[in-house]
Amino acid sequence: MTTNTVEPTILEKAKKWMLNDYDEETRLSVQKMIQFEEAELVECFYKDLEFGTGGLRGIMGVGTNRMNKYTVGSATQGLANYLKQSYDESKKISVVIAHDSRNNSRYFAEVSAGVLAGNGIHVYLFENLRPTPELSFAVRHLKAQAGIVITASHNPKEYNGYKVYWNDGGQLVPPHDKNVINEVKKITSVSDVKFSGNEELIKSIGKDVDDVYIKALTTLSLNPDIIKKQSNLSIVYTAIHGSGAVMVPPALKAFGFNNVSTVEEQMIPDGNFPTVVSPNPEERAAMTMALEKAKQIKADLILATDPDADRVGIGVKNDKGEYVLLNGNQSASILIYYLITQWEKKGKLTGNEFIAKTIVTSELLKDIARSRNVECFDVLTGFKYIAEIIREHEGSMTFIGGGEESYGYLVGDFVRDKDAVSSCCMLAEAASWAKDQGLSMYELLIDIYTKYGFYLEDLISITRKGKAGAEEIQKMMEGYRTDPPTEINGLAVLAVKDYLLQNETNLHSGKEYAIELPKSDVIQFILEGGSKITVRPSGTEPKIKFYFGVKGQLTDKSQFYEVNQSMRASLEGMIEAMGLRS
């Protein structure tokens, strides 16, 4: 095979990776692609990895569009340059680094530490894997100027990623994200990257931060007395081979949960994730072993965290004694309901509190909050925007909690990212509280539906890999933007929200309204009856995502299955009408 059909700019980028600045293994890999693997060459070099809602993320391998020593090194050099511009170099600049269990995560963490030290920046490097939320906590605790975590969250095993945090413990948001990227783009040669420096600038951290983090978590507990009464609550926990194994069991123990059984095979950190196809608690297959364990011991609650322990999936018994998995909207609704009602019961609500959710997350959270005079802020997809809202209102309003439909939740504000460790503890506390009321978690959810409205949601993801896939996704978005539907499954489209153009159009009156959120390639169709469809290309995966939501009324919980069936039929009709199900 020749490279006659490869764009010259791609070939030119690839040939730079055959210079002596790169290691021999890299040079040989590029040479092989140029000679024999044209398609692979294009995929590896047709673009540079960019920061999305989850930072830098990609398949591991050789090339500008892959996660490797050189792309990680360039990103870190860009960060170092920006830190020096942003802070007085005469004073100590420090960065905290953590990583998960993925293949090459430790290596990439050490590469990052070396580059920072090469630039005279102090580094706090966790001694081994730690959850992402603990990294966020450590940035604030150690008064660092930034943080880095090496993880690809719940992506398949061939991926890894690189997320940067600012001094508030939140992920980079404008203008910092763009400014870092601009600095990275200025690096035109790998020789610009200072890969090594004074090793004395790199300090190992571990238990010292763990202890403070867990102590902070226990302050979130609202009903420790009920946990004591329900000490027999049976919990099954799995880390799915990730960093949750380090912190979730001791955190649950610190809260007072003593009847915790772990899925031992999945408590072993392993970047190949040998017992699952995908280490994603959003997928039932990843929960199979935990479900089996729960059935054996008749557990009350199942908890599962993803590789970097920022997302948690839960399983509960339904009223038939069968184990069911709650989706992210349902778990978030239970958590927010528990937090707000207990804050009210304990006299902590003053009318100056708020929660936050993403625009694709259930409106049920907003209904719960407003019923208790708690403000609810909607933000773009990506937990960094929830962290930004917390920072903006720090000192003037009190943050209770927040969440997103993709299984990420946060309680309290000392962490500025989704935190599966605290979420596991607080969901377990909610389960204890429900049990003390004579309710299961499933019955509690149905009670919430009867009080605030029955919301049913679903997510359809369409994968389109590579350059051609990215172009196809872009074409789909252009079609929705220029020729939006006026009705879907017999329901009139009342309004179209275009977050890229930052306007909302009322299709009945033709009036337009400004959307105050930052630009994002997202389109929402608001349908009659409270239904909603959101279309959004993923910022971290080669996917386009369709979020469906319908609203109904549940006047009596005895009608749950009948109403659920009717709403499910409506939901399926919407999915079919969008051409996503045959």
Which active-site residues does the annotation give?
153
| DSSP letter, residue 55 | B
Count the alpha carbons within 13 Å of 14 in the hemisphere toward its beta carbon.
26
Cβ 313 vs Cβ 156: under 8 Å: no
CA distance 572 to 568: 6
- Helix or strand holding residue 23 (H, E): none
Torsions phi, psi for 91 (to 5 deg): -105, 160
For residue 552 the two structure tokens come to 């109904």
Listed in sequence order, the residues at least 6 apart from 280 whose beta carbon sits closer than 8 Å to its beta carbon are 154, 286, 306
Torsions phi, psi for 452 (to 5 deg): -120, -5
For residue 452 the two structure tokens come to 């605030």
3-state helix, strand, coil in the chain (%, to 5): 40, 25, 35
Cβ 75 vs Cβ 67: under 8 Å: no
Sign of CA dihedral 569, 571, 572, 577: positive
Cβ 38 vs Cβ 6: under 8 Å: yes
Cβ 165 vs Cβ 171: under 8 Å: yes
Cβ 293 vs Cβ 299: under 8 Å: yes
**Strand boundaries in 373-452, DSSP class E:** 375-379, 398-404, 408-411
Listed in sequence order, the residues at least 6 apart from 449 whose beta carbon sits closer than 8 Å to its beta carbon are 455, 554, 557, 560
- Helix or strand holding residue 296 (H, E): helix 288-297
| DSSP letter, residue 287 | G
Listed in sequence order, the residues at least 6 apart from 349 whose beta carbon sits closer than 8 Å to its beta carbon are 340, 343, 372, 373, 374
Chain-centroid distance of CA 128 in Å reads: 21
> What is the residue whose two structure tokens read 């997302």?
311
Q: Which residue type sits at 202? A: I
In sequence order, what are the beta bridge partners of 164?
148
Strand 454-463 relative to strand 408-411, pairing: unpaired
> What is the residue whose two structure tokens read 């608001």?
526
Task: Reduce the DSSP state of residue 71 to 3 states and report it.
Answer: helix
C-alpha closest to that of 415 among 203, 212, 201: 212
